[in-house]
Amino acid sequence: MEVLMSKLFNLMGVFALLQTLIPPPLREYIDRGLSMLWERLFPSVNSYMEIQMDEQVAGNHSPNELYKQVVVYVGSLRSALHTHDRLKAYRWVESDPVTLNLQDNDSIEDYFDGVQVRWTHSVREKGNAGGNSDSSERSFILRFLKTDREIIIPAYLDHVSKVCAEIERQNSQRHIFTNHYDNWEQNPFNHPSTFETLALDAGMAERIMADLEAFSKGKSFFHRNGRAWKRGYLLYGPPGTGKSSLIAAIANYMLYDIYDLELTKVSDNAELKSLLIGTRPKSVIVIEDIDCSVKMPNRGETDDDSKEGTDSNSPSKLTLSGLLNFVDGLWSCCGEERIFIFTTNFKERIDSALLRPGRMDMHILLSYCTFHAFKKLARNYLVIQDHPMFLELEKVMTKSSVQVTPAAIAELLISNKDNPDAALREVFGVFSRNDDTTIVDESASVETTVGDKSVSQISHSKSNSDVFRRRISGFLRKNKHVDRSLRSRSHSNSLEGVCKEEA
C-alpha cells in the first residue's frame, strides 16, 4: 500500500512538472481536448451544448451563409482577439481595412445578455483528399450552457446576422445610379462631402442629422402608424449654395446608394413606375431642378396653358399625377427605407401638391453665405479656427447688402489657401461694396447682378475660378480705400497680438 501511494505521489509530481514545462497554449489545447473527451464518454453529466456551422451545406456542397456571417462576426470581436498571440489577417479588396480572425482550431469567448459563449474555428482534414489543397473541412462550433439555450436560440444567432449585415453595409462599395430608359446604370460613389465639410447655417446640420437618425430607427413607428418607411426633403435656394453637396453628405451619413433620376429621360408614367420598382432599400432617390427638368401640366392649368411653352416634338408623356404617385402612391411602398430629395432654385414654381407633408417632409433653404457658414469654410480651406479679422468680417457681412454664395467664397479661399490674411482681405472687399450685388459661381458660369442690371459670363476655355478671381479683383480695385484700411487694421491687430504674447 505504501509502495502504491509512493508511486501515485511520484506520478502527481511528474504531472506538476510537466504542467510547468508545457507552454500555456498547448496546455489549454490539451485541457480542452480532455474536456471534450470526458463529455463524449459521459454525456449524461455534460452541461454544455454545441451548434456546428459548416462552411458548406452537407449534401449539395453549396456555401453556408451562416458560416460566412460568423466569419465576419468573429472578426469584429476586436477586444477578445487582441488577447490572442496568433491570428489570421486578410483583406478582401485592396481598399478594405485589414481584418483579423482566429487561427485554425482556435477559440474565442463572447458575451450576450450576460451569457458566455465560446466560438471554435474547427478545421479537419478529409481522409481521401490525397493532398489536395481544398481537402479541409471548416466549421465554427458554438458552445454554451444548456441552461442558456432559450437565450442563444434564436436571439444570439439573429444578433450575429444583424451585426454581420451592418458591417458588410459599412464596408461595401456604394453606388450612384442613373436612369437609362426603364433601367438603372450604376457607377461607384466616392463623394467626400460630409456634414463636417458643409458650410451650413448654425444648427441646420444638427437638425438634419437628428431627422435622419430618427428616420433610420423609425421602422416600427412608421408601420405602427400605417405609413410607408420613407422620408422626403426639398432643397431650395440659389445656385452654388451646396444642394448637391448636401445630398452627398446625406448619402454618406446614412451609407445609402444614390439614384439620380433625370425626368427628361423618362417617357411616361409606366416607365417611371418601372424605375421606382428597380430601386433598392437604403437609398436616396434624387430629382434635381424639379421645376425645369421636364414640363408637366399642373392640375390647375387648362389644356392650352399646359401646351404653352412645351416642345411639341417632345416624346415625354410624364404627368404630375404620375410623379405624385411615384413619391407617395401605392407603388412607392414597393421598397422601404428610402429618402426622396427634390432640388430647385425656385420653390415658388413647384406645384403645391408636390410640397405637402408626406411628400416633402422637410423644406431646407440653402441661401447665401452667412458669417457662420463663412467660418466653416475658413476652417476647412484655410485651416484657421479664429483670426483677428473675423470681428470686422462679421460686422461687414451682417450689414452688407452684397449676397455671395458659399461656392463663390470657397473659390476665393482656394485661390489664397496658403495666405489666410490675403484671403480674408479679399472676402472683406467683396462684402464692403455699397451697391446691391449678387455673386453666383457655378460649374460653367459666373453671374453677377448689380442693382437691376445683370451680367452673365460663360467660360469654356479657362477655369471658371480664373473668371471669378478677375471679377473679384475688379471689385477690390474699386474699393482700394477699404482694402488699404483693412490691411493696416490687420497689421496693427497682429502687432498688438505679438506685443501681448511678449508681455
- How large is the average pLDDT for residues 105-122? 92
| CB crowding 359-379: b at 16 or more within 10 Å, else e | bbbeebebebbbbebbbbbbe
- For the chain, what percent of residues have pLDDT higher than 70? 69
- Asked if the model's pLDDT at residue 490 lies above 50, the reply is no
Nearest-angstrom CA–CA distance, 232 and 338 = 9
Please give the backbone phi and psi of residue 120, each rounded to the nearest 5 degrees, phi first: -125, 125
pLDDT at 455 over 50: no
Between residues 291 and 501, the one the model is more confident about = 291
Site of grid cell 483677428: 388
Q: Compute the average pLDDT of residues 34-54.
A: 75
Q: Which tens digit of pLDDT belongs to each residue from 189-226?
A: 999 999 999 999 889 999 999 999 999 999 999 989 98
pLDDT confidence tier of residue 69, bands split at 50, 70 and 90: very high
Single-letter residue type at 198: L
What is the per-residue pLDDT for 457?
A: 32
pLDDT > 90: what percent of the chain? 41
> Which residue from 439, 269, 263 is spatially nearest to 344, judged by alpha carbons?
263
| Contact between residue 282 and residue 177 where contact means Cβ atoms under 8 Å apart | no
CB 80 within 8 A of CB 108: yes
Query: Quick one: pLDDT at residue 251?
Result: 96
pLDDT digits (tens, 9 = 90+) for 132-178: 545 688 899 999 999 999 999 999 999 999 999 888 888 788 899 99
One-letter amino acid at 153 equals: I
pLDDT of residue 170: 80
- For 201, other C-beta atoms within 10 Å of its C-beta total 16
pLDDT over 90 at 9, yes or no: no
> 112 falls in which pLDDT band (50, 70, 90)?
very high
Q: How far apart are CA 291 and CA 294, in angstroms?
A: 7
CA distances from 370 to 245, 375, 446, 488 (A): 17, 9, 20, 25
Domains contained in the chain, CATH given: 20-171 (no CATH), 175-365 (3.40.50.300), 382-502 (no CATH)
DSSP 94-163: TTSPPEEEEPTT-EEEEEETTEEEEEEEEEEE-TT-TT-TT-EEEEEEEEEEGGGHHHIIIIIHHHHHHH
Q: Is the pLDDT of residue 489 over 50?
A: no
pLDDT band at 294 (very low <50, low <70, confident <90, very high): low
pLDDT at 410: 94
Q: Average pLDDT for residues 38-60, to the nearest whole number?
A: 77
Torsion of CA 75, 79, 80, 82, to 10 degrees: 90
Cis peptide before 154 (omega within 30 of 0): yes
pLDDT band for position 38 (cuts 50, 70, 90): low
pLDDT score of 470: 52
pLDDT at 45: 63
Residue-level pLDDT at 27: 64
Mean pLDDT of 21-37: 66
Mean per-residue pLDDT, 379-394: 94
Concatenated DSSP letters of 157-216: HHHHHHHHHHHHHHHSPPEEEEEETTEEEEEE------TTT----TTHHHHHHHHHHHHH
pLDDT of 67 strictly over 60: yes
User: What pLDDT, on a 0 to 100 scale, did the predictor assign at position 352?
Assistant: 85
pTM of the complete model: 0.66
Per-residue pLDDT band at 46 (split at 50, 70, 90):
confident
486: which residues sit within 8 A by CB, 6+ positions away?
A: 389, 392, 425, 428, 429
pLDDT at 503: 37
Which DSSP string corresponds to 375-412? HHHHHHHT--S--TTHHHHHHHHHH---EE-HHHHHHH
Q: Is 310 exposed, middle or buried (0-12, 13-18, 19+ CB in 10 A)?
A: middle
Residue 238 has pLDDT above 50, yes or no: yes
Please state the rounded mean pLDDT for residues 462-475. Answer: 48
Q: What is the rounded distance in angstroms from the CA atom of residue 157 to the CA atom of residue 414?
A: 52
Q: How far is CA 210 from the centre of its chain?
A: 15
Please report the DSSP string for 291-352 in residue order. TTSS----TTS-HHHHHTTS-TT------HHHHHHHHHSGGGGGS-SEEEEEEES-GGGS-H
Give me the mean pLDDT over the 45-65 stretch: 83
Question: Are 427 and 461 within 8 A, CB to CB?
Answer: no
Pairing of strands 99-102, 87-90: antiparallel
pLDDT for the residue 440? 64
Mean pLDDT of all residues in the chain? 78
Structure confidence by residue, pLDDT tens digits, 297-313: 555 444 444 444 444 44
Residue 417 has pLDDT above 50, yes or no: yes
